[in-house]
Amino acid sequence: MIHYKYIIKLPILLIFLLSSVFVFSQTNKQAELEARRQELRLEIQKISQLQAENKSKQKSELSLIQEFNYKISVINNLIKVTNQQTNLLTRDINNNQKRITSLRKELEELKKDYAAMIVKSYKNKNQQSRIMFLLSSEDFKQAYKRLQYIKQYSNHQKEQGETIKAKTIELQEINSNLQKQKNDKQNLIAENRELQQSLEKERAQHQSLMNSIKKNINVFTSQIREKQRESDRIDREIENIIKAAIASSNKKAGNTATASSSSNFALTAEEKVLAANFVANKGKLPWPLERGYVIVGYGAQPSPVDKSIKIQSNGVRIATQKGTQARAVFNGEVSRIVLIKNSNPFVMIRHGNYFTVYKNLSKVYVKEGDKVSTKQSIGEVFTNPVDGETVLSFIVFKEAQTENPASWIYKM
């Protein structure tokens, strides 16, 4: 049978456990937000640095618009994260202030009880000694009980004193933590104020550039459509190359009936291991460039100039600085080095039934059939001599189907 006093303590224990879980969850969430905030700050620094290095170059309006769009989106994300941190800190501060109020009340009661206990103990000591208290017992059993009572009372005094000490330390720690939280909150508010000013500045420059573009919108629309047609032509060529590689793999494996119709590779044991390792590293692969930032994401999206025009991106476009080398994101074999008329060369690396494609190179350091390792340099990214733009197009394929590189590359 469960004793009544334990039934009383169960809800208190449950509240304590739930509050501990809540505090841990809050702390964990705050750490996640802080990590994300630092990532975004680093991203803005990276963009600003590359912009400063290319400041002397006469970039095209389309390139500048893409840069502004990306930087504005990163600043917006950073503002959201700092707002979330500030709100979380506000909740933590309020909870700590409530806890401080509660602790102070507890301490007052504990100290009051402890003082009364000391006074009572002192009075009892003067009125009769403990020995007389024991000797006045009617029998041994009563004497034993009185001895136990004296011990329990003494222990209770000691426990009460330890509790007061522990609560006082806890109160001091919470007060110290509260002050730190208030300082952190003020710093975040100040940072947010600066970010808002920076955002307004970027938006003003963006709007000024858009006003200039709108005067010749037909010219820019024509350029966008031409670039999309050229991109589609190259992407079709890549798909044809992959389909031919699939047919070849099936033919080698003796699958003559499906060699031309199958959409899946016939993999060797070694290729299966390579593909499995590639998949196991999904989300952890290094960037195909040591430095850079994404200016065009994956998938269908509105043109940054004319929202009525949809552009299709089978990969991502990463802006970087002149002289930057493209590098393999994983171990594999150079499947093809492709040269297409009116286009810069690109490299295709096979990882079992996956491909990574590195487009817009000016120099190529590898040849077909080469085995490459993770982060190995495979070529130099082309820099447009007219506008100084240095952009790598990076695509991931599974068989002949594209996948979002952001799902594969670490923190893209």
Residue 383: its pLDDT value, please? 92
Instruction: Express the helix, strand and coil content of the chain in percent, nearest 5 each.
Output: 60, 15, 25
- Rounded Cα–Cα distance for residues 336 and 395 (Å): 14
Residue 39: its pLDDT value, please? 87
CA 312, 315, 319, 321 torsion-angle sign: negative
Pick from 232, 198, 410, 398: nearest CA to 312: 232
Longest dimension (CA), the chain: 115
Q: Is 328 exposed, middle or buried (0-12, 13-18, 19+ CB in 10 A)?
A: buried
Q: Which residues contact 265 (CB under 8 A, 6 or more apart)?
A: 245, 246, 249, 250, 271, 352, 353, 399
Residue 63: its pLDDT value, please? 77
Q: Rounded to 5 degrees, what are φ and ψ at 65?
A: -60, -40
∠ at Cα 187 (184, 192), nearest 5°?
125
The single-letter DSSP state of residue 324 is: P
Pick from 292, 388, 393: nearest CA to 64: 388
Residue 136: its pLDDT value, please? 67
- Rounded Cα–Cα distance for residues 186 and 188 (Å): 5
CB atoms within 10 A of CB 132: 9
Residue 2: its pLDDT value, please? 46
Residue 55: its pLDDT value, please? 61
- Rounded Cα–Cα distance for residues 406 and 315 (Å): 9
CB atoms within 10 A of CB 86: 19
Q: What is the mean pLDDT of each run of 10 residues along the chain (412 residues)?
A: 46 50 68 89 83 65 81 91 90 83 79 70 55 63 68 67 76 81 89 90 87 82 87 92 92 70 86 97 97 91 83 93 96 95 93 97 97 98 87 96 96 88
Q: DSSP characters for 75-121?
A: HHHHHHHHHHHHHHHHHHHHHHHHHHHHHHHHHHHHHHHHHHHHHHH
- Rounded Cα–Cα distance for residues 308 and 153 (Å): 83
- Rounded Cα–Cα distance for residues 75 and 80 (Å): 9
First to last CA, the chain: 59
Residue 275's alpha-carbon distances to 222, 241, 252, 333, 350, in angstroms, are 41, 19, 18, 12, 9
Residue 9: its pLDDT value, please? 45
Residue 332: its pLDDT value, please? 98
- Rounded Cα–Cα distance for residues 347 and 328 (Å): 10
Which domains does the chain show, CATH number per domain? Answer: 4-214 (no CATH), 267-407 (2.70.70.10)
CA 19, 20, 23, 25 torsion-angle sign: negative
